[in-house]
Structure 1
Amino acid sequence: MLRAPSAVIRLVLLLLLQAALLGFAFEARAAEYIAAYRSEIQIARQGDVTVTEIITVNAEGHDIKRGIFRDFPLYMLDRQGRRQKVGFEVLSVTRDGKPEEWKTESISGGVRIYMGSQNTQLDRGLHTYELTYRTDRQIRYQENFDEFYWNVTGNGWMFRIDQASVVVQLPPGVKALNTDFFTGPEGATGKDARRTGSETAPGFVTTRALAPNEGLTIAIAMPNGSILPPSTAQQRGWLLRDNLNLMIALPALAVVALFYMWGWRRVGRDPPRGVVVPNWHPPEGLSPALVNYIDNKGFSGQGWDALSASFIDLAVKGYVLLEDLKKSIVIRRTDKPAAPDLPVGQMALLRQLGMANDKFVINKQNGEAVQSLGKLFRQAIEKENRGRYYRANTAYIVVGILLSVLSLAAMLVLGDLNPDLAGLLIMPAFFGLFWGGIAIRLAKSMRNRRSFSSRLGAAFSFAVLGFMGFAVCGAFTISLVESLGNGQWPLFVGVGGIVLLNALFFFLMGAPTPLGAKRMDEIEGLRLYLTLAEKDRMNMNGAPEMSPRHFETLLPYAVALGVEKPWSRTFETWLATAAAGAVAASYHPGWYSGESYGSFGESIGDFSSSMSSTIASTLPQPVASSSSGFSSSGGFSGGGGGGGGGGGW
């Protein structure tokens, strides 16, 4: 009676064991793996290598759904350790003895061959793929022998390989001097294989299954001269292939640079400039806004500096009254009728201000009206003076941009760009734009200290030296990611250099007309006078004495030139002298209504920037655009030629 439960327990255990065995058997049947990996290689006397890879896989619909892919590296190291690009051409693909669809795509350092169709679902079970391709530059010409060093399977397969084998057919009449083989993961020196074949067709076969990311590599030494050395024509072709980026990027950069230099020498060089002497009168016929326009070859600060100077000039002349210059600006029209000889920009402003006592408020609530007013103001001045004082030579810039776009397209399409580094090209492009902007700002900042040609030379030298520094640092950085493919630095230099040239010559290509050069000399003389120290001004023969009227007359021009601070300090210093006498105690600008002049005078040096920034802050803000991102992946490992790996898709 006590034995019955024991029999039941044994029966249950037996059933559980059978279920477990069935489960293991099911898992074994459901696994995806490479049952056999056979490679048949023919080496031609000229050095070309034709490879047929016969790969039998077990597909279960997990990773292998439509087919398999094979990754093949396009780069290897020669005997000197230099990176060289090998040729690769797919000749045929079959599956289970029938032609199979295939396609290729570029990946990091090589090419990926997809075998199968997007519209075909594989049946479960064993399938045999036969991939035939041709490659070159796989022979190493050693001192005492010619060597074929070949990674048969590659170390990048995602499946185990039950058995790998290879047979290498040497050129007619050539026998192997020595052979060797290695198995295991990257860098391993395992010997889990055996030699087969003959001296003229040596073969190798593994003696154990290769785990994922393990491979078989072979080496065959042949007598010197077994493989013909490359011809001169081949060497030239290989030199171009190895240095394709250099051969494309640097000439493209040179073409853009030569065009811009030719265009600059033709139309961008400034006419001869005269001697600059201090000038205490505004240039005849030039309003403050026009002085700003000529001096900056277009308006500075998007035209708000010129607008501020014009409002101050209108106020000094009695056409408007300025009120409250802190959080907002109120411009009130007086009853003084507009003179017929008013500058066009100021006349446009008065028409928009309306009748006597009408006011125009500059604040955020009125931002669109401020923007519209500024646009009308700028258009009125540009329409009357476009091309009169300065020629932008836009046609040359447009041609230069088109030539740059074509050059960049040639570099990216014809060059050998590593896909993993494609996104990083934004870095040299940004640097070129950024450094060009710094160089231009440097040139503009030196306008008070050097001649115009010296400033341009300094800007160009600054840009070139800076970019050379970037190129050295960039080449060093790229060398750190050699595993992603070196030889990319010419593309980085080319992209950054072309962007830098466009940023730089956008500024350099424009040139003043002879009349513009004469006016610039007069403006420079006025700037020199406005920034002179008081003791230097007093030593000038014929210079007018400082007075409220003299100060107010030149204040709009000082604002237009961005030198209102030294000019205001000069006036404040004069007010503090005994010569000012009662004027200092009673002075209050009649064109300003607000705080007492005491506090106004202390901040008058910040008047222009405060007014311009107040105007700019009232404008409607643009709507931010969405950003996009990108990512890429891929990679190879393995020794010698060949290698790569693969998987299912």
Structure 2
Amino acid sequence: MRVYNYIYTFASTCLVLILVLLPAAYANEQITDYHARIEIAKNGDLTVTETISVIAEGRNINRGIFRDFPLYFISSNGTEKRVDFDIISIKRNGNKEPYHTSYVNSDIRIYIGEEDYYIDRGPHTYEIKYQTDRQMQFFNEGDELYWNVTGNFWQFQINKASAEVHAPDNGKISGVAFFTGRVGQQLQFANAKISDDGRSAFFETTKALSQGEGLTIVAQMPVGTVNKPTESQEFWWFMRDFGHVVVATITLIIVGLYYGISWLIIGRDPTPSHIRERQTTSLGISPALVRYIYNRSRVDGTFTSISAAILNLAVKDYIKIEDIDGDPQLVVSENRELQKLPVGEAAIMEAVNKYGTFRITKSNGKSLTALRSSFNNAISSEHRNMFYKHNSGAIALGIILTIVGLGATMVFNIMGLFTLITSTIFAIIAGVLLIPIYLLGKWFLSFENDGLRYLLVSIMSVIGVVGAGLIIAGIYLVIEDTNTWSHIPFAIVAVLLVALNIFFFDLMGRPTNMGAELMAQIEGLKLHLENYHEQRMNLAGTPRMSPKYFEKQLPYAVALDIEKPWSETFDKWLESAEAKTAGVSSYRPRWDRDRWYHNRRDNDKRFKGFSNHMSKSISSAMPVQRSSSSGSSSGSSGGGGGGGGGGGW
């Protein structure tokens, strides 16, 4: 019996505790009273004191509350106006309370409280006093304050909301209106009255405001109650709204003029000989150097250059190429005639001579990496600025001017560094998207440099730039989730700045006089190798095809990425009556010991792509680089100035 008494007592105690604690545990956090006192100054500035009483239960409200305030005011004609917002004081329960701010989209967010301090559960009253400008609207009928008292984006229900508006000195309020509900609704769950002396008006809701609902008020005054902004003030307000666009546009003009003048002075290409009248069959420089010049004095990022150099050494009988289990091996030729080699080929021969053989395989990856490095350094160090000047200093100064100009937009960019960085990132993305348009234009112009083609490409480029700017601006606005449409022209100007730098990065470099002449000769050789049959038929003095002539030009064809058409030309010759008359019915390179390159059994494609095969072999043998670990009647709820919302943190 005693045991049952214990059980009964324990169960009763638990039930009492549940009945007592359960309501408290599930008590709602809410705003019990929200009151705003709005004082209008003669110059139109507003001093607003918001008194917000809340019930904290330790769920959303732990350290305190936060308040979001929009920094943009949508005027009656739908345009955006950027406003100032200055905090005067913040209190909790009558005492000064610490706070900090941050930017969230187009709002400033005020976090009231401290990171490491939790407030007590129960009622708390917050007072936020701030000043803001440019909130008044001016009509022929009178001056008007259109003000969203509470904002429509609070996390909590607002049991009661009220506001009092005080006219400037010697001013009176002549009319009032109010709206409740969600954004865009025109519900009338409120009351309003003007004081007997007309100096103030009072507004109060008659129904609680659920999440997403707010109170918006309108206070009308006779014309002249508030001073209209002066022309000087209007100018600086315009700069506040669009100063970042103005500065960015000025930057675009300055950078464009700088690049244009710099190009005329140091970037304009010398006039080369007419390529089509100079079908070149011999250059007198190595295939690796041909590719270096062809790439505008840039070291080849692929393995084509070193493949062309290896092939040229083989053709000159300095090395033989063997097949060792599918991997190419370079072997010193016994019959080679010693002579001074071009620097790139000399670097390869040094590596082969060291051991007598050099196998291109993974087990020899470190030596291959060292060989490629010495090969590239040898070519670039000896010929730097000899054939082509990149004018990197001029490009760097243009980029610096661009960065400084974009940085100067910060003076008028109230959203701060985040907006600038995100806009610039999207501008860079748009600029990258424009590269194919630019390359297509260059390809289009490469056929005939006549005025019509230039005009068409220019129009296409402008359409492409503006179109890409609009697309990127739209994406930016969607991601930013903001109504700040002034960012669209800024994004377009930023895109144009990025495109300008990309364009002149390619255009500013110029060949030297020697480089321009060699470029013309290289283009002539390329035309010769690509159009050999036509030249044999139409141009006197064109060399006759033979295995020796084919081998002589093959490394150059590899260097110019036309190995396939040159090999196909030789294939056709081998099958021709001319080859049979010369006694050439089959062909095997003397430098290809194990048919690594030649495949006589494949009649349709007698020759494998040497460059492709050798480049793949070198690439697969290279060590893998691993990264280290490590108002008025047309108004509605949510309109006008003010607004925002808030919650707990």
Which TM-score band applies after superposition, normalised by the shorter structure? 0.7 to 0.9
Q: 1 CA distance for matches of 2:422 and 2:69?
A: 23
- Letter of the structure 1 residue corresponding to residue 524 of structure 2: G
Map of 2:607 onto structure 1? 604
Map of 1:525 onto structure 2? 524
Map of 1:83 onto structure 2? 80
CA contact (8 A) 1:575 1:583 kept: no
1:422-442 deviation line (CA, Å, top 9, x unaligned): 657534312313433663476
Q: 512-521 or 456-465: which moved more? A: 456-465
Aligned in 2, Cα 1:49/1:574: closer, same or farther, shift over 3 Å? same
Question: How far 1:303 sits from its partner (Å)?
Answer: 5.3
Question: How far 1:338 sits from its partner (Å)?
Answer: 5.4
Relative to the length of structure 1, the TM-score reads 0.87
Question: How far 1:390 sits from its partner (Å)?
Answer: 1.1
Aligned in 2, Cα 1:493/1:645: closer, same or farther, shift over 3 Å? same
Question: How far 1:52 sits from its partner (Å)?
Answer: 0.7
- Letter of the structure 1 residue corresponding to residue 607 of structure 2: I
Kindly tell me the number of residue pairs found equivalent between the two proteins: 626
Q: 1 CA distance for matches of 2:56 and 2:513?
A: 80
Aligned in 2, Cα 1:24/1:307: closer, same or farther, shift over 3 Å? closer
Question: How far 1:461 sits from its partner (Å)?
Answer: 7.0
- Letter of the structure 1 residue corresponding to residue 643 of structure 2: G
Question: How far 1:647 sits from its partner (Å)?
Answer: 1.5
Map of 1:569 onto structure 2? 568
Sequence identity percentage: 38
Q: 2 CA distance for matches of 1:426 and 1:33?
A: 41
Q: 2 CA distance for matches of 1:448 and 1:553?
A: 28
Q: 203-212 or 547-556: which moved more? A: 203-212
Q: 2 CA distance for matches of 1:319 and 1:600?
A: 28
CA contact (8 A) 1:155 1:213 kept: yes
1:198-232 deviation line (CA, Å, top 9, x unaligned): 12201012223323332211112222222222110
Map of 2:4 onto structure 1? none
1:110-162 deviation line (CA, Å, top 9, x unaligned): 10112222243323333222211111221222332222111111111222223
1:417-464 deviation line (CA, Å, top 9, x unaligned): 585896575343123134336634763x56973569999999877655
1:366-420 deviation line (CA, Å, top 9, x unaligned): 3332222111111112222111111111212222333333334444675355858
CA contact (8 A) 2:388 2:511 kept: yes
| 1:184 paired to 2:181 | yes
Map of 2:138 onto structure 1? 141
- Letter of the structure 2 residue corresponding to residue 612 of structure 1: S
Question: How far 1:299 sits from its partner (Å)?
Answer: 4.5
CA contact (8 A) 2:600 2:606 kept: no
| 1:642 paired to 2:648 | no
Map of 1:553 onto structure 2? 552
Relative to the length of structure 2, the TM-score reads 0.87
Q: 2 CA distance for matches of 1:452 and 1:274?
A: 17
Aligned in 2, Cα 1:414/1:621: closer, same or farther, shift over 3 Å? farther
| 1:615 paired to 2:618 | yes
Q: 2 CA distance for matches of 1:355 and 1:565?
A: 33
Q: 2 CA distance for matches of 1:204 and 1:509?
A: 66
Aligned in 2, Cα 1:45/1:531: closer, same or farther, shift over 3 Å? same
Aligned in 2, Cα 1:431/1:471: closer, same or farther, shift over 3 Å? closer
Which runs of no fewer than 5 residues in structure 2 stay unpaired?
Answer: 1-11, 631-636
- Letter of the structure 2 residue corresponding to residue 381 of structure 1: I
Q: 2 CA distance for matches of 1:123 and 1:20?
A: 22
Secondary structure at the counterpart of residue 585 of structure 1: coil
CA contact (8 A) 1:322 1:332 kept: yes
CA contact (8 A) 1:245 1:487 kept: no
CA contact (8 A) 2:529 2:557 kept: yes
Which runs of no fewer than 5 residues in structure 1 stay unpaired?
Answer: 1-13, 628-636
Q: 162-171 or 55-64: which moved more? A: 55-64
- Letter of the structure 2 residue corresponding to residue 389 of structure 1: F
Aligned in 2, Cα 1:251/1:312: closer, same or farther, shift over 3 Å? same
1:39-75 deviation line (CA, Å, top 9, x unaligned): 1111112111111111222333332222221111111
Q: 2 CA distance for matches of 1:457 and 1:264?
A: 20
Aligned in 2, Cα 1:280/1:648: closer, same or farther, shift over 3 Å? closer
Map of 1:587 onto structure 2? 587
| 1:244 paired to 2:247 | no
| 1:472 paired to 2:470 | yes
1:55-113 deviation line (CA, Å, top 9, x unaligned): 22233333222222111111122121112212211111122222222222111111011
C-alpha RMSD of the superposition: 3.4
Secondary structure at the counterpart of residue 90 of structure 1: strand
- Letter of the structure 1 residue corresponding to residue 466 of structure 2: M
Matches within 5 A, 1:188-337: 188-198=185-195, 199-276=198-275, 277-284=277-284, 286-299=285-298, 301-302=300-301, 304-324=303-323, 327-337=326-336
CA contact (8 A) 2:175 2:219 kept: yes
Q: 1 CA distance for matches of 2:528 and 2:521?
A: 11
Map of 1:432 onto structure 2? 431
Question: How far 1:20 sits from its partner (Å)?
Answer: 8.1
Question: How far 1:496 sits from its partner (Å)?
Answer: 3.2
- Letter of the structure 2 residue corresponding to residue 435 of structure 1: L
1:317-369 deviation line (CA, Å, top 9, x unaligned): 1111123499532221112345333212112211110168x221223333332
